[in-house]
Amino acid sequence: METAAVALIVVLIVAMALGLEISWSLGLACAVAVLLDPKLTFVVLAQRIFANSNSFSMLAIPAFMLAGDVMSKGGLSKRLVAFADSLVGWISGGISLVSIVACTFFAAISGSSVATTAAIGGLMYPEMVKRGYPEDYAAAVQAIGGTLGIVIPPSIVMVIYGNITGVPVGELLMAGMIPGIICCVFLCLWAFIKAKRSNFPKADHFSFKRFLMSFKDAIWALIMPIIILGGIYAGIFTPTESAVVAVVYGVIVCLAIYREITLKSVWSIIKTTAVDTSNLMILVVTAQMFGWLISYYQIPQFVTEVMVSNVSSVAMFWAIVIVLLCICGMFLEVGATNLILAPILAPIAVAFGIDPIRFGLGFVFLLAMGQATPPFGTCLFVSCGLSGRTVGGISKQVLPFVLVEIGCGILFAMIPALSTFLPNLIA
């Protein structure tokens, strides 16, 4: 392997180990590689940055971010919580199930795990503590529920994954629906078992009248994912255009129907989203530049040859990926793992005969799980912030939920139809 290629990887690892921001680490690694390669100049970096950012599908990222911000501040989260409470609040450990189900609903409109944990956790953590749940357990439920934010469409991480690997974004988004719902069911099942063992409190009974009233109040929030996925499935608009539709729909609902935001607050939300989008896009274009250099130096081909010659089966490859991403989830932010490993692992998966959509879903799902694992899980940190509890205390309670998600990840790897059924319908 060329000296520049080795430097590309080594400089990235060293820079991240020294605590440099991931975007700066990626940029520095690329710059060093170009300096050491006599066949390349810095003009190449400028060209790649322009080429990578000049993408229609990239417009979906700021649009989905804006839609999520509008809806999290426009009253949709509390209506989704009320609806989830009427649906499952009467079951043993009902309020913990409410948190997970509400996170699932909110994931279908936000596209962000951090936003899901913050929006739902801010409402549900105090309520769980009020009803007698242990504080660390209540905080852990918010952290694990939030991880579904990047699995269930729309998903910002899936949009980025599709852009850097060439996998169709629309099919990726559709692939997350069934696995996201299945994971929600298994998380709720463990919460139910935990509640039975610990004798957690529950509501008295199911009220059909309350269910209808909360459904009526939350109907505008529940319709949004149907509009997005239905529009993509029917060919009415592309995934990128669906993000803009989500923004328009969210503003109309929160401004004219729920009336919990004003034009002035909408402008404030837009400014906040612009700053967040700028930071994210800098990270994305540097990562794409890094990915181009990885391809240029044929690193995926090198790793593929090593793995194909030493890994005897697809099952073993999946096992390596699951272990690798579990470890990365403990130490790297989900965006960094996605941007660094996706360009390397996706071609290897294809070499093993794994459907690109199936692998993309499995990859993103394992990234999502990493957001709740200590010591650096982003959802874990958000939950710590809103609860005031320690990482250590919450981690002990979140571990069984993480094991449930690992089991789900293995299930999705073993049964391709769970992730490919819906995309095949629109293919």
SS3 string, the chain, reads CCHHHHHHHHHHHHHHHCCCCHHHHHHHHHHHHHHHCCCCCHHHHHHHHHHHHCCHHHHHHHHHHHHHHHHHHCCHHHHHHHHHHHHHCCCCCHHHHHHHHHHHHHHHHHCCHHHHHHHHHHHHHHHHHHCCCCHHHHHHHHHHHHHHHHCCCCCHHHHHHHHHHCCCHHHHHHHCHHHHHHHHHHHHHHHHHHHHHHCCCCCCCCCHHHHHHHHHHHHHHHHHHHHHHHHHHCCCCCHHHHHHHHHHHHHHHHHHHCCCCCHHHHHHHHHHHHHHHHHHHHHHHHHHHHHHHHHHCCHHHHHHHHHHHHCCCHHHHHHHHHHHHHHHHHHCCHHHHHHHHHHHHHHHHHHCCCCHHHHHHHHHHHHHHHCCCCCCCHHHHHHHHHHCCCHHHHHHHHHHHHHHHHHHHHHHHHCCHHHHHHHHHHC
Q: Which residue has the tokens 């919460």?
A: 191
Domain co-membership, 30 together with 83: no
Give 232-235's long-range contacts (Cβ < 8 A, gap of 24+). 232/170, 232/173, 232/174, 232/426, 233/174, 233/425, 233/426
Structure tokens, 82: 């009320």
Instruction: Please give the model's pTM, rounded to 2 decimal places.
Output: 0.77
| For helices 356-370 and 334-351, angle between their N-to-C axes, nearest 10 degrees | 150
Domain co-membership, 315 together with 240: yes
Query: Does the structure show a pLDDT above 70 at 52?
Result: no
**Residue 411: which domain range?**
41-426
Domain co-membership, 385 together with 327: yes
Domain co-membership, 70 together with 30: no
Mean pLDDT, residues 347-368 taken together: 91
Structure tokens, 101: 């189900």
Cβ-based neighbour number of residue 306 at 10 Å: 11
**pLDDT score recorded for residue 286:** 77
Query: Does the structure show a pLDDT above 70 at 203?
Result: no
Q: Which residue has the tokens 């509009």?
A: 227
Average pLDDT, the chain: 82
**pLDDT score recorded for residue 373:** 84
Structure tokens, 152: 């269930």
Domain co-membership, 124 together with 7: no
Domain co-membership, 27 together with 116: no
Domain co-membership, 283 together with 397: yes
Using an 8 Å Cβ cutoff, are 116 and 107 in contact?
yes
Domain co-membership, 127 together with 96: yes
Query: Does the structure show a pLDDT above 80 at 361?
Result: yes
Query: Does the structure show a pLDDT above 70 at 247?
Result: yes
**pLDDT score recorded for residue 159:** 85
Q: Which residue has the tokens 């692939």?
A: 175
CA–CA distance, 133 with 16 (Å, rounded to integer): 38
Domain co-membership, 31 together with 130: no
Confidence of residue 55 (pLDDT cuts 50, 70, 90): low
Mean pLDDT, residues 352-365 taken together: 92
As a whole number of Å, the end-to-end CA separation of the chain is: 39
Domain co-membership, 24 together with 73: no
Q: What are phi and psi of 242, to 5 degrees?
A: -65, -30
Mean pLDDT, residues 389-393 taken together: 84
Q: What is the pLDDT of residues 403-425, one digit of tens each?
A: 999 999 999 988 999 998 888 87
Domain co-membership, 327 together with 339: yes
CA distance readout (Å), 246 to 103, 173, 255, 281: 18, 14, 14, 20
Query: Does the structure show a pLDDT above 70 at 57?
Result: no
Q: Which of 77-86, 138-147, 217-226, 237-246 has the highest mean pLDDT?
A: 138-147
| For helices 378-387 and 113-130, angle between their N-to-C axes, nearest 10 degrees | 40
Query: Does the structure show a pLDDT above 70 at 427?
Result: no
Query: Does the structure show a pLDDT above 70 at 149?
Result: yes
Task: Please count the structural domains in the chain.
Answer: 2
Residue scoring higher pLDDT (103 or 312): 103
Mean pLDDT, residues 355-380 taken together: 87
**pLDDT score recorded for residue 408:** 93
**pLDDT score recorded for residue 359:** 94
Q: What is the pLDDT of residues 257-294, one digit of tens each?
A: 888 888 888 888 888 888 877 777 777 777 777 777 87
Using an 8 Å Cβ cutoff, are 180 and 104 in contact?
yes
**pLDDT score recorded for residue 372:** 87
Cα dihedral 291, 296, 301, 303, rounded to 10, equals: -60
Residue scoring higher pLDDT (72 or 254): 254
Query: Does the structure show a pLDDT above 90 at 313?
Result: no
Domain co-membership, 379 together with 274: yes
